[in-house]
Amino acid sequence: MDPKFNNPSSLAAEFEVAQGLHRDGQLDAAIESLEKILDNDPSFADAIHQLGLIFREKGDAVKAELLIKSAINFNSNDARYHCNLGNILQDQQRLQEAVGFYNTALKLKPDLPEVHLNLGLLQQKQDKHRSAIESFSRAIALRGDWSLAYLNRGNSYGSLRRFNQAVLDYDCAIKINPFEALAYVNRGIVLYQQNNFEQGRESFKKGLQLNPNNPDAIQSFATSLARAGDAVAAANIYAWGYQLYPHINSFLGSLIHQKLKMADWSSLNELMLEHSRRLLNDESVADPFGFMGFANSEHELMVGTKRYSAERFTQSQRLPRFCKPHAKIKVGYLGGEFCSHATSFLLTGVIESFDKNRFELYAFDSGRDDQSAIRKRMEKAFDHFTCITEISDGEAADLINKCEIDILIDLNGFFGNARQGVLAYKPSPIQVSYLGCPGTMGADYMDYLIADATVLPPASEQFYSEKIVRLPGSYQCNDDKREISQAIVTRDKFGLPEQAFVFCCFNNVYKILPDTFDRWVRILLQVKGSVLWLFESHPVAVENLRKEAAARGLDPGRLIFAKHLSLPEHLARHRLADLFIDTLPYNAHTTASDALWAGLPVLTLVGKTFPGRVGASLLKAIDMPELITTTPEEYEAKAIDLATHPEKLAALKTKLAKNRLTTPLFNTKLYTKHFEAALTAMYERYQAGMPPDHIEIKE
């Protein structure tokens, strides 16, 4: 015991010194000062509490917790102690324990704004954004100049898709603190979600000016640009992020995907090799949706996808399960594209064909109502249609759980308006991946994957976390009501030469890898005067593909680009082409079905992954296996042979016209019958108390 601390005023003065050292960041000196105080007065609660705060700052949560609990033992009436113990527990994700201490703090001092703020932050972690908004609002009412409270309330409004309110809160945070970089960045994200790209871009730029080396801000800006369709700007920002932070793997995978969207193949091989090296070195990577476009290995897809799902969609709190059988099997479809989109074009006929005496169908829409005809058909086909766009993942999961959905089918996977956070709560006892993700979700909350024997042979099951349900024919559904415009189409109207052989591929540009393009150029050079008709997605992609053609000795004028049209018109223009030639490692999916439905033969090359075997699956289901090739050499030879022997191509077109309505691929009612059998088998296993297992539906 130091004699100079014999009186309380000396201890109080030393405590002020310790607090000053702490504020100045001299943590070790502050600890030494506080320990002197406690040597003289072990019951000095404020000193114990301050010491706990310092150890929290130093990252020693265990010691911090013990110290602040000790402070509470000496003085249980100080709300700050309870609040800060709640913070320490929240740091450790011990959220329910933390809530108890925050509530105690509020009982002791209801007007302490820090408690309301920290409780709101905890509620955000629990995905309870409405409660979080109430907590932040109380903090703001008590301390109206707190930019952090406005910032976080804006984040919760954003999570609930209440974008206008989110922008107002970010504006308030910025007015209070013009240097709050995160408020600018998050404001930019919300403005992009409102399609307000110009203001969003300016907001991002301001945020990055204030904090130019913030990797999260760079990532958010690039992702927003990508979702807005600005692939060039997105690629530039991802490249900047990758240059600043080469160890952050998400920049690498996203950069590759954006470069592919622009057909920018510079340094592509080096980037893809590095991506593969990191995957196999147990490092994180980017969104699996982009990776599927260039992955040649099911093993790598599995590794990357499992890691991605584990990092982003783990959820410790699973919703309660129910076992009682229903008079009808309740099937929910979770999707963001119940609109004029490929998913709806494929699925609508199946939903309309379901046996409503045996199944009750629910749609949970995380997208938008585009007022299209297909949207109206969808709304009419489902028994229940609920929009979840403006509610949080937790609230959506709770809604689905309360509906007692027996089987929840995810239509998105990793693309579009996906809501994997909803599925992570496991709101339904049976959860199924279908259509949106041509591969594994790598997530323990997904039970089944709908496939077929071609896209997913038994030898591939080891690379999937789900149990496989194989349908006969193709896994892909189709709508036999899809309208093909009867308007007269001419080659002249679309810039196609009248007498030339027209090869066609309307796939997204990111599916066109250099190897595929090399094959196409070799084919065109062998077929005199032929042209290649591609989909025009981005002016830069058009320019780059023409440059790549010239570099390979092909006249760039032999590449012709098709603009966007309505689906009936798009299907009709297929009549002007002679042969659809597929991509690899990611085949045409809906695009191949479009071609076959319109009467255009599809030549495919079988790949090593689910996305690369879809073309073969479709061709087998329409009984045209002669258009399936297994080597690049066979693929090129077949394309050249059909282009130079018109009688062979004519025979194939005749066969396709006959098979179009007589084989399983476009038999919507038969497909629905098989799909219903698959759902019934899953449901019966669950009701019998059996775990998910592989299921095969016979003809």
Q: What's 75's domain CATH number?
A: 1.25.40.10
Q: Which domain holds residue 21?
A: 1-110
Which two three-digit tokens encode residue 329? 């099997």
**Full DSSP string of 228-243:** TT-HHHHHHHHHHHHH
> 137-192, pLDDT tens digit by residue?
999 999 999 999 999 999 999 988 889 999 999 999 999 999 999 999 999 999 98
**Is 441 within a domain?**
yes
- The gap between the terminal CA atoms of the chain, to the nearest Å, is 88
Q: Do 501 and 587 belong to one domain?
A: yes
CA 493/CA 489 separation, integer angstroms: 7
CA contacts within 13 A on the Cβ side of 564: 5
**Is 288 within a domain?**
no
CA 626/CA 635 separation, integer angstroms: 11
Q: Do 659 and 546 belong to one domain?
A: yes
Q: What is the pLDDT of residue 547?
A: 98
Q: Do 563 and 423 belong to one domain?
A: no
Single-letter amino acid, residue 641 = D
Q: What is the pLDDT of residue 3?
A: 55
Q: How far is CA 696 from the centre of its chain?
A: 29
Q: What's 577's domain CATH number?
A: 3.40.50.2000
For 447, residues 6+ apart whose C-beta sits below 8 A from its C-beta are 430, 431, 432, 466, 467, 682, 692
Q: Do 353 and 407 belong to one domain?
A: yes
Q: Do 557 and 420 belong to one domain?
A: no
**Is 502 within a domain?**
yes
Q: Do 520 and 444 belong to one domain?
A: no
Task: Please state, for a pLDDT cut of 90, what percent of the chain lies above it.
Answer: 71
**Is 234 within a domain?**
no
Burial of 658 (0-12, 13-18, 19+ CB in 10 A): exposed
> 552-584, pLDDT tens digit by residue?
999 999 999 999 999 999 999 999 999 999 999
Q: What is the pLDDT of residue 10?
A: 77
Burial of 117 (0-12, 13-18, 19+ CB in 10 A): buried
Q: What is the pLDDT of residue 317?
A: 65
**Is 218 within a domain?**
no
Q: Do 613 and 508 belong to one domain?
A: yes
CA 401/CA 461 separation, integer angstroms: 30
What are the CA-CA distances from residue 421 to residues 32, 101, 296 (Å)?
Answer: 46, 28, 28
Which two three-digit tokens encode residue 583? 């991509």
**Is 686 within a domain?**
no
Residue 134 near residue 126 (C-beta atoms within 8 A): no
> 620-649, pLDDT tens digit by residue?
999 999 999 999 999 999 999 999 999 999
With cut-offs at 50, 70 and 90, classify the pLDDT of residue 2: low
Indicate the number of domains in the chain.
3
Q: Do 462 and 503 belong to one domain?
A: no
Q: What is the pLDDT of residue 93?
A: 85
**Full DSSP string of 36-53:** HHHHH-TT-HHHHHHHHH
Closest CA to 423 of 449, 432, 288, 128: 432
Closest CA to 332 of 411, 424, 269, 447: 411
Q: How far is CA 632 from the centre of its chain?
A: 32
Phi, then psi, of 431 in degrees rounded to 5: -125, 130
CA 628/CA 369 separation, integer angstroms: 38
Q: What is the pLDDT of residue 5?
A: 53
Q: What is the mean pLDDT of residues 670-680?
A: 98
Q: Do 456 and 508 belong to one domain?
A: no
Q: What is the pLDDT of residue 286?
A: 67
Task: Please state, for a pLDDT cut of 70, what percent of the chain lies above it.
Answer: 98
pLDDT for 248 beyond 90: no
Which two three-digit tokens encode residue 93? 């994700």
- Among residues 110, 133, 166, the one where a domain terminates is 110
Q: What's 391's domain CATH number?
A: 3.40.50.11380
Q: Do 61 and 15 belong to one domain?
A: yes
**Is 559 within a domain?**
yes
Which two three-digit tokens encode residue 630? 């297994």
Adjacency order of strands within the sheet including 448-452:
384-387, 359-365, 329-335, 407-410, 430-433, 448-452, 467-471, 695-696
Q: Do 508 and 466 belong to one domain?
A: no
Q: Do 637 and 497 belong to one domain?
A: yes
Helix (H, G, I), strand (E, B) or coil at 321: coil
